[in-house]
Homo-oligomer: A and B are copies of this chain.
Amino acid sequence: MYTNLINHIRRYIELDDDTIDILNKYIKPVNLKKKDFLLKEGQVCRSIYFVEKGCLRMFFVNDKMSEQITQFALENWWISDFFSFIDNKPSGYFIQTVEKSEILSIDTSSFEMMLKELPQMERYFRIVMQRALAASQLRAKYMYELTKEEFYTHFCGSFPEFVQRVPQYMIASYLGLTPEYVSELRKKKL
């Protein structure tokens, strides 16, 4: 069970069957249908989430009352509002499924206990965080150097499967463009 997570951990550290059993004590599976919420604005984000199957989005509601998506998570991605998770502060975000999803969740206290019982997991999470940071540095670089049109084209070229799977207006929101402008860009490309 949780084959995706186990395989993901095994990319980075050794993991025997006994350790997997221990690990299982700390992990809570959550099955969600489309548009279910894992986190709502104002709540403290008390868990980190791993996507076994499905897709999540993280967004906040801006002053114009429209949803601003800041992150997606597909299979094998961890997602959380780390700011809220680390310091137990109320979150400004929503985390919601984009489609029917199987999520694994580890809450704050399980996370600490798990790391105490299985210190080798510190290494796994160090590497996960380091890679997430590298990804976020890369994304920031693209946002600095590309025009919005180039950013859109580059994104569609890099993640074609993703573009199929997620509604266009969500991609627009994630890239920081209006749906109208994306529409215009698509017309131009044809």
Contact = CB atoms under 8 A, between A and B. Distances in A.
Give how many copies assemble into the complex: 2
A2 interface: no
Contact of A129 (B70, B119, B133, B143): B133
Interface in A138-165: 138, 140-141, 143-145
Nearest to A173: B144
A172 interface: no
Interface stretch (A20-28, A34-42, A79-87, A178-186): A79-87
B145 A82 contact: no
Interface in A120-140: 120, 122-123, 125-126, 129-134, 136-138, 140
B130 A70 contact: no
Nearest to A115: B123
A176 interface: yes
A70 B134 contact: no
Contact of A140 (B134, B138, B140): B140
Interface of A: 60, 62-63, 68, 70-71, 81-83, 85-86, 92, 115, 119-120, 122-123, 125-126, 129-134, 136-138, 140-141, 143-145, 176
